[in-house]
């Protein structure tokens, strides 16, 4: 079983990291010559990635460190952090953590925050530990399931986890957040649990489905820091205005990537406070549509300008850049085959998708010149977006596009249909 502290460097590893970063020890590995994405400033940096053991020690200018035990040549490549799933129930995938890693790590998702509420119900704390354990490169952080069982009347015969166990787990090294809880529980026990999470420095995961006004305000007032149920632009904006982070859900049952990114202009003010989660996604869907790479492709397809804004720790996993000028980023970052440095053409991702299915659009629609973007101030311009994506957005706005629940396939089919019509084909 993975020790919880494996997620952090040991004392010896920390000493080695500092020695390598300060030039007093030889790096174990250097990734040389790539353009490295800075999650802090969103710049592409001409840096080498200097690695000590299993951690990144620092980023240096190209060629600054002459020697390393091993090297990877990243010349002509983009080097980016990997994706984080901000909320997932691993047991709902029907996979063990190791089998999930076989699907997800290869697609670029290397870290998940998991609320093991199903396993807790069946097997108590041992079930929760089982879903936090893997020897694969998948890093798993815990979202402590708050109440097991959630209903004493409806759920009988399973495990009952005492409140003191829940509160103790909030202080586990591996804990990232308190898991999703009942918005309507105003009792002393749940209120005390919220406070315990805040004192322990853990975020509180929200489940605000369709809540408005007083019920929403009362829930967020408990310190709830994020929400993965926002299914409309209005819900996203309201929760963001109140200080919550949005984790855009792309599950087997409900894919909110389509309704939320369909009107990019409307949702733009919240983009910096959004990240991604799968929540409930079955193995079959993970293997076909993908994991967080699915969210990223959807966002780019609807016109969000890459690169995806990558995590600040676990707090903003996979958050996205708003449209901005001059982005020179790959269109499909998680492909495992990073594109060369030259900037991508608009709509290239769509065309590549179509070619992948044996079809080629006969002609591309002309792309509009960049238009000025008042949100960005004088002299800044938002990028033009692909005509197909614009049509899908308009169709969604008229209620004729893929609605909530539409997956990659639905969107792709709609785009293909629109492109065929635009090209004068049946």
> Which lies closer to Zn ion via its Cβ, residue 6 or residue 185?
185
> Which lies closer to Zn ion via its Cβ, residue 83 or residue 92?
92
Nearest distance from C-beta of residue 279 to Zn ion, angstroms: 5
Count of residues touching Zn ion (by CB under 5 A)? 1
Touching Zn ion, residues 274-293 (CB under 5 A): 279
Nearest distance from C-beta of residue 179 to Zn ion, angstroms: 8
Which among 426, 125, 92 has a CA at the least distance from the CA of 277? 92
Nearest distance from C-beta of residue 97 to Zn ion, angstroms: 17
Touching Zn ion, residues 11-70 (CB under 5 A): none
State the burial class of residue 200 (Cβ atoms within 10 Å of its Cβ: 0-12, 13-18, 19+).
Answer: middle
Touching Zn ion, residues 290-319 (CB under 5 A): none
d(CA 103, CA 290): 8
Residue 254's CB: how many other CB atoms inside 10 A?
Answer: 17
> Which lies closer to Zn ion via its Cβ, residue 129 or residue 279?
279
Nearest distance from C-beta of residue 177 to Zn ion, angstroms: 12
Which among 318, 328, 330 has a CA at the least distance from the CA of 290? 318
> Which lies closer to Zn ion via its Cβ, residue 279 or residue 408?
279
Which among 333, 263, 410, 306 has a CA at the least distance from the CA of 79? 333
- The rounded radius of gyration (Å) of the Cα atoms in the chain is 22
d(CA 263, CA 261): 5
Q: Angle at the Cα of 384 (from 406 to 244), degrees rounded to 5?
A: 55
d(CA 8, CA 5): 6
d(CA 8, CA 243): 29
> Which lies closer to Zn ion via its Cβ, residue 48 or residue 91?
91
d(CA 380, CA 14): 43
Which among 395, 376, 201 has a CA at the least distance from the CA of 271? 376
Nearest distance from C-beta of residue 249 to Zn ion, angstroms: 8
Is residue 226 at the binding interface for Zn ion, with CB under 5 A as the rule?
A: no
> Which lies closer to Zn ion via its Cβ, residue 314 or residue 325?
314
Stretch in the footprint of Zn ion (CB under 5 A) among 144-152, 271-279, 291-299, 337-345: 271-279
d(CA 337, CA 106): 11
Q: Are 269 and 237 in contact (CB under 8 A)?
A: yes
Beta strand extents in 169-279 (DSSP E only): 175-178, 203-206, 224-227, 245-249, 274-277
Nearest distance from C-beta of residue 275 to Zn ion, angstroms: 14
Nearest distance from C-beta of residue 158 to Zn ion, angstroms: 18
> Which lies closer to Zn ion via its Cβ, residue 256 or residue 412?
256
Closest residue to Zn ion, Cβ-based? 279
> Which lies closer to Zn ion via its Cβ, residue 227 or residue 279?
279
Nearest distance from C-beta of residue 250 to Zn ion, angstroms: 12
Binding site for Zn ion (CB under 5 A): 279
């Amino acid at each position: 079983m993975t020790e919880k502290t494996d997620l952090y460097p040991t004392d010896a590893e920390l000493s080695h990291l500092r020695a390598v970063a300060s030039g007093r020890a030889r790096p174990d590995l250097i990734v040389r010559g790539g353009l490295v994405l800075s999650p802090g400033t969103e710049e592409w940096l001409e840096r080498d990635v200097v690695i000590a053991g299993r951690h990144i020690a620092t980023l240096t200018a190209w060629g600054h460190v002459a020697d390393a035990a091993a090297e990877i040549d990243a010349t002509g490549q983009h080097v980016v952090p990997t994706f984080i799933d901000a909320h997932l129930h691993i047991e709902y995938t029907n996979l063990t953590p190791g089998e999930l890693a076989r699907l997800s790590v290869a697609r670029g998702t290397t870290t998940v925050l998991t609320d093991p509420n199903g396993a807790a119900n069946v097997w108590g704390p041992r079930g929760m530990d089982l879903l936090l354990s893997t020897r694969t490169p998948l890093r798993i952080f815990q979202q402590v399931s708050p109440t097991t069982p959630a209903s004493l009347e409806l759920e009988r015969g399973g495990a009952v986890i005492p409140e003191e166990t829940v509160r103790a787990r909030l202080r586990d090294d591996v804990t990232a957040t308190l898991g999703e809880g009942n918005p309507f529980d105003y009792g002393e026990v749940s209120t005390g649990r919220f406070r315990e999470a805040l004192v322990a420095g853990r975020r509180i995961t929200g489940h605000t489905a369709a809540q408005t006004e007083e019920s929403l305000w009362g829930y967020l007032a408990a310190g709830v820091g994020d929400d993965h149920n926002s299914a409309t632009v209005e819900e996203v904006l309201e929760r963001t205005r109140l200080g919550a982070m949005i984790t855009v859900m792309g599950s087997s049952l409900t894919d909110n990537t389509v309704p939320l990114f369909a009107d990019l202009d409307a949702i733009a003010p919240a983009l910096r406070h959004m990240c991604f989660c799968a929540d409930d996604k079955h193995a079959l869907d993970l293997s076909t549509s993908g994991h967080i790479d699915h969210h990223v492709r959807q966002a780019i397809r609807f016109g969000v300008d890459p690169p995806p804004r990558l995590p600040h720790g676990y707090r903003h996993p996979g958050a996205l850049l708003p449209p901005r000028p001059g982005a020179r980023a790959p269109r499909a970052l998680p492909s495992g085959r990073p594109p060369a440095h030259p900037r991508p053409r608009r709509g290239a991702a769509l065309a590549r998708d179509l070619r992948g299915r044996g079809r080629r659009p006969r002609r591309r629609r002309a792309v509009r010149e960049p238009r000025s973007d008042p949100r960005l101030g004088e002299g800044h311009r938002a990028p033009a977006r692909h005509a197909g994506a614009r049509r899908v957005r308009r169709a969604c706005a008229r209620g004729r596009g893929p609605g909530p629940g539409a997956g990659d396939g639905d969107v792709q089919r709609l785009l293909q249909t629109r492109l065929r019509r635009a090209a004068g084909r049946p």
